[in-house]
Structure 1
């Protein structure tokens, strides 16, 4: 069975529910738990709008989990731990994915094992994550908002959200595309994105970075579209 990565988003309404969700991020229910097959996880906050933002979105929180197999991922999604997140959520989605390719590290680990071959006709998801050097944070945040806005309305984009473990310095983005080709067109033909990649290389903004691509094979919940099983074959 292939390694399965799950990224979950939970949206809350009302001060009490948002406050509880913030508390879960600070002390996640996964802490000190022996969860079968779990090899890596991160509790995530979210930025306002669709992409990177210096301003938090206090209504939306994320959870990234990586399992040795699809079966173990499914068991976790049916567990009481996930119920704690869902029971008070206004809406949520779980995106189940197999890794295509990953480069770099996250918290000095390489969490994603490449399991499937890239197919530009299939749906694709991308997670980019970085720890920003404190002395370069100001320059970084000067450029990011315009790049995030350039993604809005791009052909094939289903969903995108800025996420992170810590405001300002530990940031990531998740984007979900109808087809791999749509993502590639954005990445290689969008001038603002190309300029951002160039500046990253020139200025060395990051002390740690990771770039990863996945083929999603199932979405549960209705925050990201609706329940859907994609026409992909698990390896």
Structure 2
């Protein structure tokens, strides 16, 4: 069996549904923590807009899960009562199944992703970054965030991106989908502001914990903004 990771985006429209989704940030953990075949999960809120933002977006939530196999993951989404509850409330649900290509660092004290040998040269790529920011570095970090994200939208090959996190302000994660590995590399290593952000991270030691992981999507279900973002790419 090969490990599979899923990332699910939920969108909520009405005030009642947004309030329900916010309450599930506390209430859902009892069910999510006891799912057979799930080795790691994070239920996260998101930031406003399509880059990382300290102000919350109460309409969008993201569920990241790591599974022992694709078969187990598909069974969860086909039969889980908690998924049904989310689907009944959400206006849109988009789930991507993916295998890990590389992963460096820690998330809540562990590295949950096991790389699977794949052809890394073709097809779309998903990047997930996550960090716990030191309390004494919060102001300096958030002052620089807008500048570090400045080149993101202008970078060719970006399909989708969203900032997310378990705890506002302190936990920062980004989820980005790219047409190919070359597009991701251009942003990571050729973007002036992003290069400066990497240098500042090393010099100023903003993070108490950090992780960078790269994935290859293998299946996409549902829609986002009325379409399937990875349609025709898998």
Find the aligned partners of 2:96 and 2:86 in 1 and give their Cα distance. Answer: 15
- Which segment drifts farther, 174-183 or 109-118? 109-118
Q: After TM superposition, give the deviation of residue 29 of structure 1 in Å.
A: 5.3
Secondary structure at 1:122 match in 2: coil
Asked if the contact 2:124–2:233 (Cα under 8 Å) also holds between the matched residues in 1, the reply is no
Q: After TM superposition, give the deviation of residue 95 of structure 1 in Å.
A: 1.0
Secondary structure at 1:144 match in 2: helix
**Which residue of 2 is the match for residue 7 of structure 1?**
7
Q: After TM superposition, give the deviation of residue 140 of structure 1 in Å.
A: 0.3
* Structure 2 unaligned residues grouped into runs of 5+: none
Q: After TM superposition, give the deviation of residue 120 of structure 1 in Å.
A: 3.1
- Which segment drifts farther, 69-78 or 27-36? 27-36
In 2 relative to 1, CA 86–227 (structure 1 residues): closer, same or farther, beyond 3 Å?
A: farther
Secondary structure at 2:114 match in 1: coil
In 2 relative to 1, CA 93–147 (structure 1 residues): closer, same or farther, beyond 3 Å?
A: same
In 2 relative to 1, CA 32–11 (structure 1 residues): closer, same or farther, beyond 3 Å?
A: closer
Number of aligned pairs? Answer: 232
Asked if residue 168 in structure 1 is aligned to residue 188 in structure 2, the reply is no
Secondary structure at 1:41 match in 2: strand
Find the aligned partners of 2:228 and 2:171 in 1 and give their Cα distance. Answer: 30
Asked if residue 92 in structure 1 is aligned to residue 93 in structure 2, the reply is yes
Q: After TM superposition, give the deviation of residue 134 of structure 1 in Å.
A: 0.5
**Which residue of 1 is the match for residue 116 of structure 2?**
115
Matching of residues 173-188 of structure 1 within 5 Å? 173-188=174-189
TM-score when scaled to structure 1? 0.93
Q: After TM superposition, give the deviation of residue 33 of structure 1 in Å.
A: 5.4
**Which residue of 1 is the match for residue 73 of structure 2?**
73
TM-score when scaled to structure 2? 0.94
Asked if the contact 2:129–2:211 (Cα under 8 Å) also holds between the matched residues in 1, the reply is yes
In 2 relative to 1, CA 74–32 (structure 1 residues): closer, same or farther, beyond 3 Å?
A: closer
Find the aligned partners of 1:33 and 1:205 in 2 and give their Cα distance. Answer: 30
* TM-superposition CA deviations, 1:147-198 (whole Å, max 9, x none): 2232113211110000000010011000000111111111111001100000
Asked if residue 205 in structure 1 is aligned to residue 220 in structure 2, the reply is no
Find the aligned partners of 2:20 and 2:173 in 1 and give their Cα distance. Answer: 23
Asked if the contact 2:11–2:61 (Cα under 8 Å) also holds between the matched residues in 1, the reply is yes
* Structure 1 unaligned residues grouped into runs of 5+: none
In 2 relative to 1, CA 187–142 (structure 1 residues): closer, same or farther, beyond 3 Å?
A: same
Find the aligned partners of 1:17 and 1:202 in 2 and give their Cα distance. Answer: 43
**Which residue of 1 is the match for residue 43 of structure 2?**
43
* TM-superposition CA deviations, 1:73-114 (whole Å, max 9, x none): 101111222111111111120011000000011111110000
Asked if the contact 1:216–1:230 (Cα under 8 Å) also holds between the matched residues in 2, the reply is no
In 2 relative to 1, CA 227–57 (structure 1 residues): closer, same or farther, beyond 3 Å?
A: closer
Q: After TM superposition, give the deviation of residue 121 of structure 1 in Å.
A: 2.4
Asked if the contact 2:158–2:177 (Cα under 8 Å) also holds between the matched residues in 1, the reply is yes
Matching of residues 13-162 of structure 1 within 5 Å? 13-28=13-28, 30-31=30-31, 34-78=34-78, 79-117=80-118, 119-162=120-163
Secondary structure at 1:149 match in 2: coil
